[in-house]
Structure 1
Amino acid sequence: MVNKNRMNRVAAAMAAAALMSVAVPAAAAEAVVTPRVDLKVLVVDDGGSSVEAITAELRDTGVPFTRVVLGSGSRPVINAGFLSDTVDGRPRAKYQGVVLPNENPFGDGSAEMAALTAYETTYGIRQVDAYTWAHPGVGLEYTDNGGYSGQLDGTQAAVTAAGKAGPFGYLGGQVTFEDNSALVPESYGFMGKPRAGYTSYLDAPVGGGRASLVGEYAHDGRSELVVTFGYNQYQQQFRLLARGIVDWLTQGVHLGQSRNYFAVHVDDVFAPDARWSKSLNCTPGDYACAGGEGQESSIRMTAADAQYAVQWQQSKGFKLDMLFNAGAGEEWKAENGGTDALTAQLIADRAKFRWMNHTYTHLFLGCTQDTSASPWTCTKNANGAVNYMSRAEISAQIRDNNNWAASKGIATDRTELVTGEHSGLKTLPQQPQDNPNLAGALADNGVKWAGSDNSREPVQRAVGAALTVPRYPMNVYYNTGTNAEMADEYNWIYTSRADGGSGLCEDNPATSTCLPAPLDVNTGYLNTIVPAEARTALRHVLANDPKPHYVHQANLAEDRTLYPVLNQVLDTYGTLFAPSAPIVNQSMKDTGVELSRRAAWDKAVAANKVTAYRIGTTVTVKAPFGVVAPVTAPNGTKKQLLLGTADFGTAYAGNRSAWTSPDLLQSAVTLRLPS
């Protein structure tokens, strides 16, 4: 019989990196061998959204896992042989953690649950119950004894002292359940009072007391993380807890890493942007705006707007990326009396922003467009071949912008480029392939990272020797400078024809939803659009998603429509997270590197070419040559060098993590965990 107190002490010690030893069979009864635990998670999937959410977190952070689908007739049987074996005379646990739909998805008396129980007890493996109800079997009182069951929309939950000292110390404290619509129930669950052996990590008020929503149940030499509310991978309450669930499950040592990223690109700096017409419901100057001739108007930042941007950055501790078109700015200057206070101000404050090449005059770098009809088409030569902008012309657009910046003392990274409208890259349906001259022009100028539109191409891909970096478009429109213009255009796009809108939402019900009624143009932007856009952006931030967001310089002008969205994202984030988990605001190049590393890592894991395991306080990671491994480990972890050791990784959210590879003359990464 296993001693319960001894096992509980071992489980606690493992969180600091020590692993219990188990005896080998009778033939070597005198020897005690520390087992090997492979860095992989077992997921038993019932098809529910809660298991899918945890699976998505494992996948998106790079944690290898094996998924067993309960309803599949061809699934493996979970028994002792499936869970463990012996490698080179050493007992091996094949999984470092187990995710179940609930505390026992196999049924009473199940041999599979008995095998899992024995496995977890023997090797000190933890189990997550993705969603269950409050009852004594998971260490909780029934809900009729000081608890609650029902809808949880808007519930103000809080991380307990034990949660802050444990897996959720990276949070600020409050976890509010989403309540985005009064018409739709969004979450349901149970809150129960803890019994002996249960430690609550997240609770909420019930009557005159509090009851648990997430906690650890230690019993019979095992530890379960019990979650008693349903969720999906997109809901904020799960996104806040996801990191801690994985860290608890893996006892703080796992492959993969996670950050909360947010970067904002401001396109068209120095250039004016065309203005939306409320009367024509289009943008004069656009070829598709019938009747717009002679009604063109533009939006452009002023020197005061540039000064405000600097002040705002300082107040928020957040730097904007200025994507500039110097030639368009020079044209504006020549057409407006030969002076330009905006450019002078931005040059004076050049060191206070990050800068990126957006081409010299924002030309369309793809095929030659025929705009005589809507939608436009690519022109063709006499032989029927598409006419494309030449390599020399594209190269000049890149080179001239770089040279102008250098002449003004503006520092840029010449490996980064975002073309105007992401042109030159394929544009469906009119231009189904990249301009064949684009890759050569990028190479001519040393461009390695080319911004693309995530709404068109969400996956990084090669353009010659360069790689794309998908960017999220924000619903803060390029052709609006005021809150009223924003609301008016939003109404046109998202209201039905009967309500005076374009009806695009009716024609594309799979991708958009019609507003039940048009927004008030005076209040609709701040009251409806801003909260919705901030929620979307924050969802990306909380999903370990490094892709940048992009807007336009018009959004920093006039009513300065961008700032309310950014304020809500950053201020909300500041209340949700502790200082140990700051927003990572990185360059496009760094994001490109991150995405390319993830792609190589995911490919290696999918091909079973990664071997990673832990023996006591030593972690070994082997990956194919050239593949960099993401690893997360506790504070105090050291990386073994050829001679001596060095601190491993960088600190984030209470542990340390990094992309890492073997050093010179080494065939594997070796980490020494703290004792």
Structure 2
Amino acid sequence: MKRLRRQRALGAGALLLALGLSAAPAGALPAPAATAAEQPRIDLRVLVVSDGGPGTAAIAAELDGAGTPYTVVQLGDAQRPLIDAAFLADTVDGRPRAKFQAVVLPNDNPFGAGSAEMAALVAYEQTYAVPQVDAYTYASAQNGLQPPVYSGSVDGVRAEVTTAGRGGPFGYLEGAVPFEDNSPTVGESYAFLARPAAGADFTTYVEAPVPGGSGTGSLVGEYRHDGRRELVVTFAYNQYQQQFRLLARGIADWMTQNVRLGAARNYFAVHVDDVFAADDRWDATLNCTPGDVDCPPGQGQTNPIRMTAADVQHAADWSASRDFTLDMAYNGGGSVEHRENNNGADPLADSFVAQRGDFRWINHTYDHPFLGCEQDVSSVPWKCAKNADGSVKYVSQAEISRQIADNRQWAASVQLPVENDELVTGEHSGLKVAPQQPEDNPNLAPALAANSIGWLGSDNSRDPQQRQVGPAKTVSRHPINIFYNAGKIAEQVDEYNWIYTRRSQGGSGLCEDLPNTTCLPGPLDAATGYAQYIVPQEISTAMGHVLGNDPRPHYIHQSNLAEDRIAYPVLDGTLQRYDDLYTASAPLVNLRMRDIGAELRDRAAWRTALNSGQVTAYRIGDTVTVQAPAGVRATATMPDGTRRVIASGTDAFGQEYAGTVSGWVAPDGGQSAVTLKLAEVPEAGAARRGSAPLKAAPRTPFPAGVTRSVPYQPQR
């Protein structure tokens, strides 16, 4: 398999330097001097000039998600700054400074014919060899292309990275760039397919077949002219579409010449909850789950779902074949109860313990109780029980501590390799849950402190942002829409139909009542609905997270690995689609919970420092320096071969990923300043061959599915 078994949290280095710089504005662009001592300073910041369209917004979102600094100038803002020589460059301590390392425009010239602002940008790019990205532009001689051979929809088209693209900015891709086609009734993609103009120095990086015609046309290519380098993109997109997500890394690397703050990975981790316990089963007649709080007490027959030893062997074999580690969130009390009721036998636990090294393990509490308020289940939905004085009756600190400690002790008794600072409570209970319990259980934080918990699982659908709970930070987890109470395909489809169809179609109508929830056109077929609808939708949703530089784990339940083993088609589909799209240079990063939490923590601190203007970074020749607040780790992406200067010489910086090296960096022991040395200085622009006339690019159409993204699935 191309994917690494796992990659640990990114390694350390350091990029901090006290600068003490003062800046003086310049009235004109200073010419960079030729000697090394007078080389210009290039600030590691991107200028995004936006017309409010989805193309520039998508690129800004990519930079933001990676932690790459950028400045947005909104063309429609009457108070926006004028883009002139003084805005773009000045001098610092007598050295010429380029304030931006790259420029992103909505098209090749959004200002109009004879624009002084465009002329200033052209001169700036020529002077400092600053690349320009045309986020979405019409194909014309002005950007090195012939008139389009095709203009129109490219929904469902399979584009390809060319040989030049694989050898250049998109080398992390296998080749295919599939365009989405989520709805037959909504236009989602639009493109101008064109070929390079005669005599133009144009290199196509991504091309697509001409619909209804012959040959191919460029979608993404590099145009070198007038001492400038321009990335010409001729298709419309938004930040969520797969085609953009596949190319976003390459666009960012191209424009920054692989020298930038920020980093991105493709992450995927899967937690399996309730291991050793048994999950209640959906009742298709009652349309609820007997034994759980959504069914009135005493209704229906309980027939819980629990994995078998054969299911454990299948999980271990699957993990080995996929080179992918599952995280098992365990409830030791479930095994103890099973042994009590089965003459001391528990083949499931025996099998898991025998193969414990094939998985990672997370404390999920001993008995999986609800650890928030005490639940009054006399009615549906449940409500919080109250004390005599009317206050909320909460589960005690002692009970929460017992659940954590007893499960930890049970794991030690069977030698499960557990990290004691990780915890996922049953149903994420103890944390706030709307509408019944709008605040955390006040007894939760002291119980976490008493048991040295540093990382606490939360549900991303209701508690998405990392936050502090006593000594612990939350780690939000994405729920995969495969239900905990379904071990069989028929149960999953029936419950899915109940949730996502209208009352007039026999459903619950929840999809009509809940905000941000959409309804199915009609009930899914019991025989084909899972494989043909639910599985593809869940794969697409998971891939959206994977391709979005999102480290947060996904979670399912042990019931989904039992009986019909309904989770595997989603997991297999996600892993296979990823393998089909990416080379071995960009493996899926499969981190355990504590490392994901640390990644989220460091990102939050870095983003705060960026947003408060406390980060300064620049390159002078082959040397990169960054200044950040004390205690804040910086994140950076650099060319392969970059070295960090230390007192005794140099050492390697970062980790290899997708053709670059990147990592989190902090002050090295005993040093307050660190310098990064690049193996190669980023290339300058092509030789100047005269100026092209300045005229505005034609207005480009956006299909409805770009301006308002077509969703993958019913949302909730």
8 Å contact from structure 1 (residues 273, 479) kept in 2: yes
Q: CA deviation at 1:32?
A: 7.0
8 Å contact from structure 2 (residues 279, 559) kept in 1: yes
* Aligned residue in 1 for 2:439: 433
For residues 32 and 659 of structure 1, the distance between their equivalents in structure 2, rounded to whole angstroms, comes to 29
* Aligned residue in 1 for 2:171: 169
For residues 28 and 373 of structure 1, the distance between their equivalents in structure 2, rounded to whole angstroms, comes to 78
Give the secondary structure class of the aligned counterpart of 2:155: coil
Picking from 651, 667, 670, the partner of 2:672 is 667
* Aligned residue in 2 for 1:203: 207
* Aligned residue in 1 for 2:427: 421
Give the secondary structure class of the aligned counterpart of 1:598: helix
* Aligned residue in 1 for 2:451: 445
* Aligned residue in 1 for 2:464: 458
**1:105–1:668 Cα change, 3 Å:** farther
For residues 187 and 30 of structure 1, the distance between their equivalents in structure 2, rounded to whole angstroms, comes to 48
* Aligned residue in 2 for 1:298: 304
* Aligned residue in 2 for 1:41: 46
Given the two structures, how large is their TM-score scaled by the length of structure 2?
0.89
Is 1:567 matched with 2:572? yes
Which letter does structure 2 place at the counterpart of 1:671? L
* Aligned residue in 1 for 2:498: 492
Q: CA deviation at 1:586?
A: 0.3
For residues 341 and 262 of structure 1, the distance between their equivalents in structure 2, rounded to whole angstroms, comes to 30
**1:158–1:449 Cα change, 3 Å:** same
**1:83–1:25 Cα change, 3 Å:** closer
8 Å contact from structure 1 (residues 642, 664) kept in 2: no
For residues 528 and 31 of structure 2, the distance between their equivalents in structure 1, rounded to whole angstroms, comes to 77
Per-residue CA deviations over 1:337-360 (Å, capped at 9, x if unaligned) read: 431111110010001100010000
Which letter does structure 2 place at the counterpart of 1:411? P
For residues 517 and 381 of structure 1, the distance between their equivalents in structure 2, rounded to whole angstroms, comes to 45
Give the secondary structure class of the aligned counterpart of 1:432: coil
Structure with the larger RCO, 1 or 2 (CA within 8 Å, 6+ apart) = 2
Q: CA deviation at 1:668?
A: 3.4
For residues 543 and 618 of structure 2, the distance between their equivalents in structure 1, rounded to whole angstroms, comes to 34
Is 1:576 matched with 2:581? yes
* Aligned residue in 1 for 2:115: 110
8 Å contact from structure 1 (residues 639, 645) kept in 2: yes
For residues 639 and 525 of structure 1, the distance between their equivalents in structure 2, rounded to whole angstroms, comes to 52
* Aligned residue in 2 for 1:640: 645
Which letter does structure 1 place at the counterpart of 2:202? Y
* Aligned residue in 1 for 2:713: none
For residues 121 and 435 of structure 1, the distance between their equivalents in structure 2, rounded to whole angstroms, comes to 60
* Aligned residue in 1 for 2:608: 603
For residues 32 and 216 of structure 1, the distance between their equivalents in structure 2, rounded to whole angstroms, comes to 31
**1:387–1:28 Cα change, 3 Å:** closer
8 Å contact from structure 1 (residues 130, 226) kept in 2: yes
Give the secondary structure class of the aligned counterpart of 2:635: strand
For residues 351 and 334 of structure 2, the distance between their equivalents in structure 1, rounded to whole angstroms, comes to 17
Per-residue CA deviations over 1:222-281 (Å, capped at 9, x if unaligned) read: 011010000011100000000000000000000000000000000000000000011111
For residues 34 and 388 of structure 2, the distance between their equivalents in structure 1, rounded to whole angstroms, comes to 86
Per-residue CA deviations over 1:149-202 (Å, capped at 9, x if unaligned) read: 100011111000110111000001100101122222111111100121110000
Structure 1 residue ranges, 4+ long, deviating more than 4 angstroms after superposition: 23-32
8 Å contact from structure 1 (residues 192, 211) kept in 2: yes
Give the secondary structure class of the aligned counterpart of 1:414: strand
Q: CA deviation at 1:294?
A: 4.5
Q: CA deviation at 1:670?
A: 1.5
Q: CA deviation at 1:287?
A: 3.1
**1:158–1:25 Cα change, 3 Å:** closer
Give the aligned CA root-mean-square deviation in angstroms: 1.6
Per-residue CA deviations over 1:294-321 (Å, capped at 9, x if unaligned) read: 5111111011000000111111111100
* Aligned residue in 1 for 2:69: 64
8 Å contact from structure 2 (residues 539, 571) kept in 1: yes
Q: CA deviation at 1:94?
A: 0.3
Is 1:527 matched with 2:529? no
* Aligned residue in 2 for 1:629: 634
* Aligned residue in 2 for 1:389: 395
* Aligned residue in 2 for 1:475: 481
Q: CA deviation at 1:443?
A: 1.2
1:105-184 paired onto structure 2 within 5 Å: 105-143=110-148, 147-184=149-186
8 Å contact from structure 2 (residues 151, 191) kept in 1: yes
**1:334–1:77 Cα change, 3 Å:** same
Question: Which 10-residue stretch deviates more, 179-188 or 259-268?
Answer: 179-188
Is 1:80 matched with 2:82? no
* Aligned residue in 1 for 2:509: 503
* Aligned residue in 1 for 2:14: none
8 Å contact from structure 2 (residues 33, 39) kept in 1: no
Give the secondary structure class of the aligned counterpart of 2:104: strand
Which letter does structure 2 place at the counterpart of 1:405? A
**1:365–1:28 Cα change, 3 Å:** closer
Which letter does structure 2 place at the counterpart of 1:391? Q
* Aligned residue in 1 for 2:250: 244
Give the secondary structure class of the aligned counterpart of 1:299: coil
Give the secondary structure class of the aligned counterpart of 2:107: coil
* Aligned residue in 2 for 1:550: 555
Give the secondary structure class of the aligned counterpart of 1:279: coil
Give the secondary structure class of the aligned counterpart of 1:551: strand
For residues 630 and 678 of structure 2, the distance between their equivalents in structure 1, rounded to whole angstroms, comes to 24
8 Å contact from structure 2 (residues 32, 128) kept in 1: no
For residues 296 and 290 of structure 1, the distance between their equivalents in structure 2, rounded to whole angstroms, comes to 13
* Aligned residue in 2 for 1:10: none
For residues 101 and 132 of structure 2, the distance between their equivalents in structure 1, rounded to whole angstroms, comes to 9
Picking from 71, 89, 96, the partner of 1:91 is 96
Picking from 600, 624, 648, the partner of 1:619 is 624
Which letter does structure 2 place at the counterpart of 1:211? G
8 Å contact from structure 2 (residues 374, 385) kept in 1: yes
Per-residue CA deviations over 1:411-439 (Å, capped at 9, x if unaligned) read: 10011000000001111121111111111
Given the two structures, how large is their TM-score scaled by the length of structure 1?
0.94
Identity of aligned residues (%): 61
* Aligned residue in 2 for 1:52: 57
* Aligned residue in 2 for 1:253: 259
8 Å contact from structure 1 (residues 273, 298) kept in 2: yes
For residues 596 and 408 of structure 2, the distance between their equivalents in structure 1, rounded to whole angstroms, comes to 21
Give the secondary structure class of the aligned counterpart of 2:419: coil
Is 1:541 matched with 2:543? no
For residues 307 and 31 of structure 1, the distance between their equivalents in structure 2, rounded to whole angstroms, comes to 63
Q: CA deviation at 1:79?
A: 0.4
8 Å contact from structure 2 (residues 309, 348) kept in 1: yes
1:332-411 paired onto structure 2 within 5 Å: 332-411=338-417
8 Å contact from structure 1 (residues 623, 668) kept in 2: no
Which letter does structure 2 place at the counterpart of 1:569? T
Per-residue CA deviations over 1:193-216 (Å, capped at 9, x if unaligned) read: 012111000001223322100000
8 Å contact from structure 2 (residues 293, 381) kept in 1: no
Unpaired runs of 5+ residues, structure 1, are 1-22
8 Å contact from structure 2 (residues 452, 471) kept in 1: no
How many residue pairs get matched? 649
Give the secondary structure class of the aligned counterpart of 1:479: coil
For residues 268 and 201 of structure 1, the distance between their equivalents in structure 2, rounded to whole angstroms, comes to 47
* Aligned residue in 2 for 1:194: 196
8 Å contact from structure 1 (residues 621, 668) kept in 2: no
8 Å contact from structure 1 (residues 660, 669) kept in 2: no
Give the secondary structure class of the aligned counterpart of 2:644: strand
Question: Which 10-residue stretch deviates more, 593-602 or 641-650?
Answer: 641-650
For residues 333 and 407 of structure 1, the distance between their equivalents in structure 2, rounded to whole angstroms, comes to 15
Unpaired runs of 5+ residues, structure 2, are 1-27, 681-716
8 Å contact from structure 1 (residues 622, 667) kept in 2: no
Give the secondary structure class of the aligned counterpart of 1:276: coil
Give the secondary structure class of the aligned counterpart of 1:599: helix
Which letter does structure 1 place at the counterpart of 2:492? M
